[in-house]
Amino acid sequence: MEIAVIGGGHGCHAAAADLSERGHRVRLWRRDREAFAPTLKRSALTLTDTQGTRDVSLGLATTDLAQAVTGAELVLIPLPATAQVVLGRDLAPLLTDGQVVFLPPGTFGSYILANAVKRTGTGARVTFAETGTLPYLARKQATDHIAIRVRATRLPTGVLPTSDCSRALDIIGAAYPSVEPIEDVLSAALMNAGPIIHPPLILMNAGPLEHFKVWDIHNEGTQPSVRRVTDALDAERVSIREALGYRPPHFPLADHYDDTRDEWMYGNTSHEKLTDSGDWREDIGLTTHRYML
Summarised one tens digit per residue, pLDDT across range 249-272 is: 999 999 999 999 999 999 999 999
Q: Does the pLDDT value for residue 39 go beyond 90?
A: yes
pLDDT bracket for residue 48 (50, 70, 90): very high
Can you give the pLDDT at residue 287? 82
Summarised one tens digit per residue, pLDDT across range 202-213 is: 999 999 999 999
DSSP state of 81: G
Residues in CB range of 284: below 8 A, 6 or more apart: 202, 209, 215, 217, 291
pLDDT bracket for residue 58 (50, 70, 90): very high
Summarised one tens digit per residue, pLDDT across range 129-151 is: 999 999 999 999 999 999 999 99
Q: For residue 78, which of 17, 143, 142 has the smallest C-alpha distance?
A: 17
- Given a contact cutoff of 8 angstroms between Cβ atoms, the answer to whether 25 and 41 are in contact is no
Summarised one tens digit per residue, pLDDT across range 68-83 is: 999 999 999 999 999 9
How far CA 140 is from CA of 10, 51, 57, 136, 263, in Å, comes to: 6, 17, 17, 12, 26
pLDDT, mean over the chain: 97
Mean pLDDT of 10-24: 99
Q: Does the pLDDT value for residue 97 go beyond 90?
A: yes
Q: For residue 67, which of 123, 26, 124 has the smallest C-alpha distance?
A: 26
Distance CA 11, CA 150 (A): 12
Can you give the pLDDT at residue 288? 85
Q: How many CB atoms neighbour CB 236 within 10 A?
A: 10
Summarised one tens digit per residue, pLDDT across range 101-128 is: 999 999 999 999 999 999 999 999 999 9
Q: Does the pLDDT value for residue 170 go beyond 80?
A: yes
| Fold of the CATH domain 2-189 | Rossmann fold (3.40.50)
Can you give the pLDDT at residue 70? 98
Q: Does the pLDDT value for residue 88 go beyond 80?
A: yes
Burial tier of 247 (Cβ tally within 10 Å: 0-12, 13-18, 19+): exposed
pLDDT bracket for residue 53 (50, 70, 90): very high
Q: Does the pLDDT value for residue 292 go beyond 90?
A: no
Please give the share of the chain, as a percent, with pLDDT higher than 70: 100
Q: Which residue spans of the chain are classified as CATH 3.40.50.720?
A: 2-189
